[in-house]
Structure 1
Amino acid sequence: MWGDGEAYEPYIGRWSRCVAGEFVRRLSVPAGAVWWDVGCGTGAVTRAVLEAADPGRVVGADPSESYLRYARRTVGDPRAGFVRADARRLPAPDGAAGAAVSGLVLNFVPEPARAVAEMLRVVHPGGVAAVYVWDYTQGGMELLRHFWDAAAEVDAGAGPLDEGARLPLCAPEPLRLLLRGSGLAGVTVGEIVVRTRFRDFADYWEPFRGGQGPAPAYLASLPQARRDLLQERLRASLPAAADGSITLSARAWTAQGTRPSR
């Protein structure tokens, strides 16, 4: 479901980049720190760290070799390195980093508590562990909300596949409880809202054909007639401006905490 960098970027990657810079700036990690970007994907958070945080080193870890190839090719900064690794088993010594961050990953890790525990393990006492996830609930991530609402109109079986219905870590309190339960201190939760502008309907629709993520995977499973019907429902329901452009909002929830001294 996740693994093709070229298909991911026009679908979710471009919107993740809009969030990543603000996310990194809010962390106030000292310059020169070592960072781990857990589930780095195509490198959106890694690039934001390099641009906004003046790190000494950033290590991006991801299980997808395709995503890592994309990140290595496009990041192009000698302070960045990338390794193939599971978020639940990071190849880093205890306390080796000043910050461990993860963007749009925890909902897709089989054991998110283990991933957060690993992030805590790799930062030194006083170091920061922080995450962000999309708000998949009603109205939070309009790009997907419109898709699933239209899908439910043409297919009664679409409802349970909606990320908002089946991914638990898309609201503030579950995130807060996850980070606290993993041993982080001083946990705080916030939000970042970005505007997602599409040139026209094709700019919105075509990335869904790339197979990256639950909604595109669902679309690929439909017979052609049902896909065409869903496409037309979306075309009719999206709020297009006079020039054909479509502007939607996307909200991400952020959570961060520090590794206790003892």
Structure 2
Amino acid sequence: MAARPEEWASGEDYQRYMGRWSRLAAVGFLRGLPPLPAAAWCDVGCGTGSLTQAILAGEQPARVLGVDPSVGYLAAARARVSDERVEFEVGSAAAIPAADREFDRVVSALVLNFVPDPGAALAEMTRVARPAGLVAAYVWDYADGMDMIRLFWDAAVELDPAAAPLDEGRRFPLCRPEPLRELFASAGLTEVRVGQVSVDTVFVDFEDFWRPFLGGQGPAPGYCTSLTEDHRAALRESLRATTPRTAAGAVALRARAWTVRGRRP
């Protein structure tokens, strides 16, 4: 099956699928940055506002600009985040609607692997950072550390080997420590550091685990919703058979994100 463009339109479906885990990872990601109260922040690819919310809750910002190309996601972010310090605007990692050297912190959550040209995106993020400002990001470890997605693609490829090229673990070689380090260093950033954050992804039962894959937001749900009803039912049962559960029936998994940061000279 050929890859199809990811759909990023429904904030509610994205929140159910990945946004709730992104918020947990955001807290750990921010803990790894040196504190700077009253800073100006730019959240690039802000989506439904998970990272922006974490910035407001823990970083005492003077201002946050959230930028995303999806009008639907921005509407969800505005509905979830009500704070006079925050603005949300249409834009992208390759075209941030801001002046040169405008922000002390330029951050991005789960975005760099999806942009067509990560180098150009990082150059744009660096452009809007002030001298000595931090540019930082985190991405899921799709190959080895994102249990829910690993289980999904292993089951999907077992049934349909042609789905293998859609597996994020294969598609996104950037989502590893050394490629991230090299990307940030090649942008001319200094003091480049790579780390990791792990969060629990706990579902009350298998249905709670399965349902987010039906929302169509992102590669795995996009593939799932493109299937015939019979094929999707077969995938569901295959995944049910391979997904570990506790004695109470809960699905308790882990998700690891790689973090990276550098300072603009």
Please say whether Structure 1 and Structure 2 have the same fold, judged by a TM-score greater than 0.5. yes
3-state SS of paired residue (1:195): strand
2: distance between equivalents of 1:192 and 1:39? 19
How far is the alpha carbon of 1:25 from its aligned partner? 2.1
Letter in 1 for 2:78: R
2:155 matched to 1:150? Answer: yes
TM, length-normalised to structure 2: 0.96
Give the structure 1 partner of residue 3 of structure 2: none
Give how far 1:259 is off.
0.4
Which residue of 116, 122, 133 maps to 1:110?
Answer: 116
The 2-side partners of 1:72 and 1:48 are apart by 14
Show structure 2 runs of 5+ residues with no match.
1-6
> What is the distance in 1 between the residues matched to 2:174 and 2:56?
27
Match of 1:74 in 2: 80
Work out whether residues 208 and 215 of structure 1, in 8 Å CA contact, stay in contact via their aligned partners in 2. Answer: yes
- Larger deviation, residues 54-63 vs 27-36: 27-36
User: Which of 150-159 and 199-208 deviates more?
Assistant: 150-159
Equivalent residue number for residue 258 of structure 1: 263
In 2, Cα distance between equivalents of 1:7 and 1:225: 23
Using the alignment, how far apart are the partners of 1:135 and 1:180 within structure 2? 20
Q: Shift of residue 242 of structure 1?
A: 1.4
Classify the secondary structure of the residue corresponding to 2:134: strand
C-alpha displacement of 1:123? 1.1
Corresponding position: 1:228 with 2:233:
yes
Matching residue of 1:243: 248
In 2, Cα distance between equivalents of 1:206 and 1:67: 20
% identical aligned pairs:
53
1:256 Cα deviation from its structure 2 partner: 0.1
Alignment partner, residue 137 of structure 1: 143
Equivalenced residue count is 259
CA distance in 2, matches of 1:68, 1:252: 23
Deviation at 1:201, TM superposition (A): 0.6
Q: Is the 8 A contact 1:29 1:99 kept in 2?
A: no
CA offset at residue 247 of structure 1? 0.4
One-letter amino acid of the structure 1 residue matched with residue 28 of structure 2:
E
Distance in 1 between the 2:166 and 2:81 partners? 33
Contact 1:29 1:128 in 2 (8 A): no
More moved, 108-117 vs 54-63 = 108-117
Structure 1: gaps spanning 5 or more residues: none
The reply to whether residue 197 of structure 1 matches residue 185 of structure 2 is: no
Deviations 1:87-136 (A, max 9, x none): 11111111111000000001111111111111111111110000000001
Matched, 1:160 2:172: no
Q: Among residues 101, 110, 113, which one is paired with 2:107 in the alignment?
A: 101
Q: Find the residue that maps to 1:41 and give its secondary structure.
A: coil
Are the aligned partners of 1:46 and 1:60 in contact in 2 as well (CA < 8 Å)?
yes
SS of 2:162's partner is coil
SS at match of 2:249: coil
Cα distance in 2 between the residues matched to 1:151 and 1:42: 28
SS of residue in 1 equivalent to 2:124:
helix
Structure 1 outlier segments of 4+, above 2 Å:
none
Return the alpha-carbon distance in structure 2 between the equivalents of residues 119 and 27 of structure 1: 17
SS in 1 for 2:98: coil
Structure 2 distance, partners of 1:23, 1:175, is 15
Q: Which residue of 2 aligns with 1:210?
A: 215
CA distance in 1, matches of 2:123, 2:35: 19
Structure 1 residue aligned with 2:45: 39
Could you tell me how far apart the structure 1 residues matched to 2:176 and 2:165 are? 18
SS of structure 2 residue aligned to 1:36: strand
Give the letter aligned to residue 81 of structure 2: V
Secondary structure (helix, strand or coil) at the match of 1:202 reads helix
Partner of 2:27: 21
* 2:189 aligned residue: 184
Q: How does 1:112-131 map to 2 (within 5 A)?
A: 112-131=118-137
The Cα shift of 1:30 comes to: 1.2
Name the TM-score, length of structure 1 as normaliser. 0.97
